[in-house]
Structure 1
Amino acid sequence: MPLKTIGTIAIPEAAGSEFDHAAFDAKSRRVFIAHTARNCIEVIDHDAGRHIATLPGFPGVAGAVADDGQILATNRGGASVALLDAVTLETRATFKSGARPNGAVIVARSSLGIAACIGDDKEAPTLHVYGLSDHKQVSIELPGRPRWCVTDAAAERLFLCIREPSMVLVAPLPDLGAVTHWKIPSSGAHGLDIDHSRQRLYVACDDSTLVEISSTSGEVTNVWPIGGPPDVTFFNPATGLVHVAIGEPGLVDSIDPRNGHSTRTVTGAGAHTTALVVPNQLYVVSPAHGGVLVLSDS
Structure 2
Amino acid sequence: MRLRKGMIGLALLCASVATAAAQHYHVSEHWRVGGQGGWDYLLSDDAAHRLYIAHNARVEVIDTTTGKVLGAVTGFKSTHGIALDPNGRVGYISDGAGNAIGIFDRKTLSVLKTVPAGTNPDGIAFEPTTKTVWAFNGKSSNVTVLDTASNQVIATIPLPGKPEFPQVDGHGSVFVNIEDKNVIVKLNAASQKMVATWSLKGCEAPSGMAIDHAKHRLFSVCDGNKMAIVDYGTGELLSLATIGDSPDAAAFDAKRGLAFSSNGGDGTLSVIDTTKPTFPTATSLPTAKGAKTMAFDATTGRIFIGAAEYEPAPASSHAVPHPRAAVVPDSFQVIVVQP
Task: Decide whether the 8 Å contact of 1:28 with 1:86 is kept in 2.
Answer: no
In the TM superposition, residue 93 of structure 1 has moved relative to its aligned partner by: 2.4
Runs of 4+ in 1 over 4 A off after TM superposition: none
Counterpart in the other structure of 2:197: 181
More moved, 178-187 vs 140-149 = 178-187
Counterpart in the other structure of 2:307: 286
In the TM superposition, residue 178 of structure 1 has moved relative to its aligned partner by: 4.4
Give the 3-state SS of the residue equivalent to 1:8 in structure 2. Answer: strand
Q: Distance in 2 between matches of 1:194 and 1:74?
A: 21
Task: Decide whether the 8 Å contact of 2:185 with 2:194 is kept in 1.
Answer: no
In the TM superposition, residue 41 of structure 1 has moved relative to its aligned partner by: 0.7
Counterpart in the other structure of 1:18: 38
The 5-angstrom pairing of residues 1-298 of structure 1 reads 1=23, 3-13=25-35, 17-36=37-56, 39-68=57-86, 69=88, 70-107=90-127, 110-119=130-139, 124-134=140-150, 135-154=152-171, 156-185=172-201, 186-259=203-276, 260-261=279-280, 262-279=282-299, 280-288=301-309, 290-297=332-339
Q: Relative to total residues, which structure has the larger strand share, 1 or 2?
A: 1
Letter in 1 for 2:143: L
In the TM superposition, residue 108 of structure 1 has moved relative to its aligned partner by: 5.5
Q: Deviations over 1:7-34 (max 9, x none)?
A: 11110226xx411001011343211100
Instruction: Work out which of the two has the higher radius of gyration on C-alpha atoms and give 1 or 2.
Output: 2
More moved, 145-154 vs 56-65 = 56-65
| Residues 85 and 236 of structure 1: CA distance in aligned 2, closer, same or farther (over 3 Å) | farther
Q: Distance in 1 between matches of 2:177 and 2:183?
A: 6
Q: Distance in 1 between matches of 2:47 and 2:38?
A: 27
| Residues 62 and 254 of structure 1: CA distance in aligned 2, closer, same or farther (over 3 Å) | same
Give the 3-state SS of the residue equivalent to 1:160 in structure 2. Answer: strand
Q: Distance in 1 between matches of 2:129 and 2:168?
A: 13
TM-score, normalised with respect to structure 1: 0.91
TM-score, normalised with respect to structure 2: 0.81
RMSD: 1.7
Letter in 1 for 2:91: I
Q: How many residues align?
A: 288
Unaligned runs of 5+ in 1: none
Give the 3-state SS of the residue equivalent to 2:84 in structure 1. Answer: strand
In the TM superposition, residue 92 of structure 1 has moved relative to its aligned partner by: 2.5
Q: Distance in 2 between matches of 1:132 and 1:93?
A: 11
More moved, 232-241 vs 189-198 = 232-241
